[in-house]
A and B are shown apart, each in its own frame.
Chain A
Amino acid sequence: MNQFPPNSFRTGPDISGHFGAYGGRFVAETLMPLVLELERAYEAAKRDPSFHAELDGLLKHYVGRESPLYFAERLTEKLGGAKIYLKREDLNHTGAHKINNCLGQILLARRMGKTRIIAETGAGMHGVAAATVAARFGLPCVVYMGEVDTERQRPNVFRMRLLGAEVRTVTSGSRTLKDAMNEALRDWVANVHDTFYIIGSAAGPHPYPAMVRDFQTVIGSETRAQMLEREGRLPDLIAACVGGGSNAIGMFHPFLDDPEVEIHGVEAAGEGADTKHHAATLSKGTPGVLHGARSYLLQNRDGQIQEAHSISAGLDYPGVGPEHSWLKDQGRVTYFSVTDKDALDAFVALSKLEGIIPALESAHAVAHVMQVAPRMAKDKLIAICLSGRGDKDAMTVAAALGETT
């Protein structure tokens, strides 16, 4: 390499919260002073060593970090190509990467003197993580969840209630993650004085996309160090599933300025990216403004948001984080999509080959790697972010496979 890249891919967002043409703060005026206050509080926390010390301590002793980077030997053998490693975020306390971000945000909420927590959830993993940290810090918590999702992720509804959270079922719109986020934003507007909104994805108004990313980059930073230790070099390919994109941006960000690392984001193609039933926002969408940020969206020609579809509740979202939108346009990350059927096959394959039941969300990333790994040489290295565990999906998968439960 005798040519330097033109700039770094890791410096965004700019001072007004934009990643190129994406991001920003598109919220009602009632919320503007709050997001500005949040930005100031987060900037101060970032510079405060005691904030990081407390967060690091919790990540180690409460979450169980660092999470292993596991060599998936039988999956690698079966595919016959590149060596596949799994970043085991499924082994975190609460069973997914979501806890990394929730701990960061609740420490911030406490610094800001907020006394009530709200969150939106799709698959329920973020809801569970938010309910968990609220329990840990003794704050009341309300989680908004679409009616469709409370049905298909019933175990997580019970977990949240057990943790002391109130789960409010959202019956408006498509009754999924998008509508849960609308309801959470409405709650926030109505309870500005005491409420902290823990957004679970790298989406929403600035500073959320940057803040959530920062709290999740522990995934990529650990992966980078672990891979260097295990293999003496960086991976050739990293992959993660993308709904809103928090596990993906956390996995990707520490590698963005390593040009030798190819990066693949994997969206949900539902019944097929060329059908009307998918959630492949970056692959098939167009730029627009929703939930506080400009990003790629699934929308019709008149700017009305369309319903997404995925068997996985966590990917069933018609938007995506603004930084992913920018990375797509920059060409630094390539985005693919995987159908419900291929994700199900990967879900079963990983369970049977490795004894690891992945979340349906994470199974999309596994499915993509199952397609590309056989075409790569055996000395190539792949790291997949296994963002969560699949216990919550057992019923959905059983139904999809035609098994009775």
Chain B
Amino acid sequence: MSRIAQRFAELKAANRTAFMPFITAGDPNAETTCALLAKLPAAGADVIELGVPFSDPMADGPAIQASSLRALDAGMTLQKVLDVVRRFRKIDQTTPLVLMGYYNPIHAYGTARFAKDAAEAGVDGLITVDLPPEEDEVLRLPATAQGLDIVRLATPTTDDVRLEAVLDGAGGFLYYVSIAGITGTKSFAESDVRGAVARLKAASGLPCVVGFGMRTPEQAAGVAAFADGAVVGSAIVERMAAAGDKNERIRDALEFCASLAQSVHSARGVLE
């Protein structure tokens, strides 16, 4: 069983929702990312989303755009992101880690070589924002051959017809983008998201996690009551950007993640 399947099975048995923090790899440098990753599981992260920086992140709002540029300015590359993952796997063999980013860096790396190197480094899944089902075979085939899950996105614009295409080839979990919009910019109506998640879970049989637009422990708790996972990204990245130095950056991120995790984990009425 893959690390992702294993983790969601454990959470289901415990009637708990996954807390899934997103951070940008290399923001503001690889050392900070490595130090933070090492401590995220203890702060309550059940699945980690690691952003691969790209120069032109079309689906991201200002916070993650800025984090990507900081990472690129510090020399982050896809190769170095895999190095960060390797270091994480030396100390943690159970927490699933999913890379989230855009296709062009993978295209430049070479899809087959990337799938092999990513699997060897200890990556569990790939979310490639601008690679819809119609175009993703070039990555999906080598990735799944290496045991990597291709995580698909569903959105408020995904109707039932479209959902079939989204689910065909989907692996790991389904990622519901709670808003029609870019990351970290606007908030969703909880009732809309609840209905959408119910529909997706019924159609897919995969765990369904929710992301985009979640900024507070309260919002995360609201979603965690019915979703299988809650992703928070921009709000963590913003806190890190506002911190004074490396230690403060890591401390602030961990404190915030711990409060988010607490809210998510207690949302179904089961205390830790």
| Chain A residues with a Cβ under 8 A of chain B | 16, 24-34, 36, 172-173, 178-179, 182, 185-186, 189-193, 287-292, 294, 297, 299, 301-305
Shortest distance from the beta carbon of B41 to any chain A beta carbon, whole Å: 29
**Is B108 an interface position by the 8 A CB rule?**
yes
B177 touches A304 (CB 8 A): no
Shortest distance from the beta carbon of A32 to any chain B beta carbon, whole Å: 5
Of listed A34, A178, A294, residue having the most chain B CB within 10 A:
A294
- With A30-B180, A189-B59, A305-B56 known as contacts, the answer to whether A299 contacts B104 (CB < 8 A) is yes
**Is B84 an interface position by the 8 A CB rule?**
no
B107 touches A303 (CB 8 A): yes
Is the interface on chain B under 10, 10 to 19, 20 to 34, or 35 or more residues?
35 or more
Our pick among B54, B129, B159, B181 for the contact of A304 (Cβ within 8 Å) is: B54
B153 touches A28 (CB 8 A): yes
Q: Which 8 pairs from chain A and chain B are nearest by CB?
A: A303-B108, A303-B105, A190-B181, A30-B155, A29-B153, A303-B104, A304-B55, A302-B77
B77 touches A28 (CB 8 A): no
Least CB separation from A17: chain B residue: B134
Residues in A whose Cβ lies below 8 Å from that of B90: none
Tell me the complex Cα distance, A297–B108, Å. 11
Our pick among B104, B129, B152, B158 for the contact of A305 (Cβ within 8 Å) is: B104
Our pick among A16, A30, A301 for the contact of B157 (Cβ within 8 Å) is: A30
Least CB separation from B75: chain A residue: A302
B103 touches A29 (CB 8 A): no
Interface residues of B in 139-190 (CB under 8 A from A): 152-159, 162, 166, 177, 179-182, 185-186
Least CB separation from B104: chain A residue: A303
A178 touches B56 (CB 8 A): yes
Interface residues of B in 52-111 (CB under 8 A from A): 54-59, 61-62, 65, 72, 77-79, 102-109
Least CB separation from B103: chain A residue: A289
Shortest distance from the beta carbon of B163 to any chain A beta carbon, whole Å: 10
Residues in B whose Cβ lies below 8 Å from that of A34: 157
A29 touches B58 (CB 8 A): no
B155 touches A26 (CB 8 A): no
Tell me the complex Cα distance, A193–B58, Å. 19
- With A29-B158, A178-B56, A305-B56 known as contacts, the answer to whether A186 contacts B166 (CB < 8 A) is no
B152 touches A29 (CB 8 A): yes
User: What are 6 sample pairs from A and B whose C-beta atoms fall under 8 A apart?
Assistant: A26-B103, A28-B129, A28-B155, A33-B162, A192-B157, A292-B130
Shortest distance from the beta carbon of A343 to any chain B beta carbon, whole Å: 27
Residues in A whose Cβ lies below 8 Å from that of B72: 304
Residues in A whose Cβ lies below 8 Å from that of B57: 182
Least CB separation from A191: chain B residue: B180
- With A186-B58, A289-B103 known as contacts, the answer to whether A303 contacts B130 (CB < 8 A) is no
Least CB separation from A288: chain B residue: B104
Our pick among A25, A27, A28, A32 for the contact of B162 (Cβ within 8 Å) is: A32
Tell me the complex Cα distance, A30–B132, Å. 10
Least CB separation from B154: chain A residue: A29
